[in-house]
Amino acid sequence: MSFVHRYGPWAVIAGASEGTGRAFAHQIAGQGVSCILIARREAPLNALAEEIRIRHGVECVAASIDLSAADAADRIDAAVAGRPVGLLVCNAGGDGNSAHFLDQRIDAWVDLASRNVMTVMRCCHRFGGLMRDRGRGGLLLVGSGACYGGASFMAVYSATKAFDLCFSEGLWAELRPYGVDVLGLILGRTDTPAFRATLAKRGLPVPANLASPEEVARIGLERLPHGPVHNWGQADEAAGYLSSSAAVRRNRVLALDEMTKDVFGPR
């Protein structure tokens, strides 16, 4: 089955204006699938849509939508306007707060949870149902290794990504009999503008060996038929980030806390 037949004729990419979302949009359009690009910032989104139309010769629609808003999923549905969507990429959801939970206003955390959980869930319900009815399609949820354990500076972010991980696994089990592919793509550190902005805000250098957005998108689309989870940089059979005992999870939290200091700085 060709990519277009399996995941076309339209794809929705949420969080498409830069970084991995931009890379997903180009690679999906390069396969001949028309794109509906969703992000908050209108200017870069419109510029990307025009670039995709010219470079790949497919239709491309851009819609400026705040994915943390309560009506975000309804506005995405309105932007789709009845077009048959065969692929949903939920790529938005980074944490720009760079703060401890109690040091940030609660509204900021509610926005993060809404963007990473409620909007993702609503979109998957809407488009996943249509894919199930057609007997084909794909849901790709871009996650983070933070999903495997909490740490200071990431209490809410880790919790939302843990939801996305379990949600991906559950949807995969539910939808695989209907020909709908589901993947939770668990990323490590990736060279995105948002990540570089966080480092710059803290006056910290860019670490070596960051994953490139283009490689992330390529691997994500390649692994989509083989869900429910792909751990970036890990073989399919490797234990990777997984751990089970309370002691191991406790030590992992401490280790992750140390690792994040070169991004967020000392307390």
Cβ(14)–Cβ(90) under 8 Å? yes
* Closest by CA position to 95, among listed 108, 86, 79, 81: 108
Domains identified in the chain, total number: 1
pLDDT the model gives residue 241: 63
- Paired with 36 in beta bridges are 12, 61
pLDDT tens-digit profile of 131-183? 999 999 999 999 998 998 888 889 999 999 999 999 999 999 999 999 999 99
Domain that holds residue 209: 3-264
CA dihedral for 31, 35, 38, 44, sign (positive or negative): positive
**For residue 247, what are the CA distances in angstroms to 203, 241, 243, 254, 255?**
34, 15, 9, 11, 12
- Paired with 35 in beta bridges are 11, 60
pTM of the model: 0.90
Q: How many helices (H) and strands (E) does the chain have?
A: 11, 7
Residues whose CB is less than 8 angstroms from the CB of residue 215 and which lie 6 or more positions away in sequence, other chains included: none
Q: Which tokens is 17 given?
A: 């204006």
pLDDT tens-digit profile of 55-102? 999 999 999 999 999 999 999 999 999 999 999 999 987 888 878 999
Longest Cα–Cα distance of the chain, Å, equals 54
pLDDT tens-digit profile of 193-217? 777 777 777 788 888 889 899 999 9
- Burial call 87-121: b when 16+ CB within 10 Å, e when fewer: bbbbbbbbbebbbebeeeeeebbebbbbbbbbbbb
**For residue 228, what are the CA distances in angstroms to 1, 175, 231?**
20, 11, 10
Rounded to whole angstroms, how far apart are CA atoms 228 and 140? 9
Q: The CATH number of the domain where 193 resides is what?
A: 3.40.50.720
pLDDT tens-digit profile of 37-66? 999 999 999 999 999 999 999 999 999 999
